[in-house]
Amino acid sequence: MAQPQINKVRLPENAYRKLEPGEEYIPVIPDKKIVPEVTRYSLAWGLFYSVLFSMAAAYLGLKIGQVFEAAIPIAILAVGLSTLLKRKNALQENVIIQSIGSSSGVIVAGAIFTIPGLYILGLDVSFYQIFLASLFGGFLGILFLIPFRKYFVKDMHGEFPFPEATATTEVLIAGESGGEQAKILVGAAAIGGIYDFFVSGFGLWKEVVSTQVFGWGQALSDKVKLVLKVNIGAAVMGLGYIVGLRFATIIAAGSFLAWWVLIPVVYFIGQYIPTQILQSVKPIADMCPQEIFSDYVRHIGIGGIACAGIIGILKSSKIIGGAFKLAVGEIIGSKHESGTNSVRRTQLDIKMKWVTFLLILSLIGTLVFFYFGVVELNFIHAIVGIFIVLIVAFLFTTVAARAIAIVGTNPVSGMTLMTLILSSVILVRIGLSGSQGMIAALIIGGVVCTALSMAGAFVSDLKIGYWLGTTPRKQERYKFLGTLFSAASVGVVILVLYKTYGFGPGGLEAPQASAMAAVLKPLMTGAQAPWLLYLAGVFLAIILELVGIPPLAFALGMYLPIYLNTPILAGGLIAHFVAKSTKDDELSKKRKERGTLIASGFIAGGAIMGVISAFIVFIGKQFNPDWTLMKAIGTERWVESSPSEILGFVMFILLCIYMYWNSCRPKK
Between 513 and 423, the more confident residue is: 423
Of 566 and 627, more confident: 566
Mean pLDDT of 485-498: 82
What's the CA dihedral at 297, 301, 304, 308 to 10 degrees?
170
pLDDT at 86: 81
99: closest CA among 450, 405, 482? 482
Closest to 299 measured CA to CA, from 287, 288, 307, 311: 307
> Residue 375 pairs with which residues in a beta bridge?
none
- pLDDT number for residue 625: 67
- CA 547, distance to chain mean position in Å, is 28
Residues in the chain: 668
Looking at residue 232, its amino acid is I
Which amino acid, 358? L
Contact of 462 with 151, CB cutoff 8 Å: no
Q: Is 161 strand, coil or helix?
A: coil
Neighbours of 390 (CB within 10 A): 17
Whole-number pLDDT of residue 4: 42
> Which contacts of 326-329 are long-range, i.e. CB under 8 A and separated by 24 or more positions?
326/147, 326/352, 327/147, 327/352, 327/353, 327/355, 327/356
Q: What is the pLDDT of residue 340?
A: 46
Burial of residue 616 (number of CB atoms within 10 Å: 0-12, 13-18, 19+): middle
Q: Where are the alpha helices (DSSP H) in 258-351?
A: 263-270, 289-292, 298-315, 317-331
Q: What is the pLDDT of residue 652?
A: 93
Q: Tens of pLDDT along 307-328? A: 887 787 777 666 666 666 665 6
What's the mean pLDDT when you consider all of the chain?
80
The answer to which of 159-168, 197-206, 325-334 has the lowest mean pLDDT is: 325-334
DSSP letters, 24-74, are ----SS-TT-----S-HHHHHHHHHHHHHHHHHHHHHHHHHS----SHHHH
Continuous segment of H or E residues that includes residue 229: strand 229-231
Per-residue pLDDT of 14-26, as tens digits, reads 888 888 887 888 8
CB 597 within 8 Å of CB 183: no
Conformational region of residue 434, where left means phi above 0, alpha means psi within -120 to 50, and beta covers everything else: left
Say yes or no to pLDDT of 574 above 90.
Answer: yes
* Separation CA 292–CA 255 (nearest Å): 14
Q: Looking at the predicted structure, is the pLDDT value of residue 146 above 80?
A: yes
Residue 368 is predicted with a pLDDT of 86
Dump pLDDT digits (tens) for 377-409. Answer: 678 878 888 888 888 887 777 777 887 787 666
Rg (CA), the chain: 24
C-beta neighbour count of 319 within 10 angstroms: 17
Please tell me which of 82-91, 95-104, 500-509 the model is most confident about, judged by mean pLDDT. Answer: 95-104
What separation in angstroms does the CA of 132 have from each of 43, 125, 440, 470, 488? 23, 12, 14, 30, 9
Confidence (pTM): 0.75
pLDDT in tens, 204-258: 888 889 988 888 888 888 888 888 999 888 888 888 888 788 888 998 999 999 9
Q: What is the pLDDT of residue 335?
A: 46
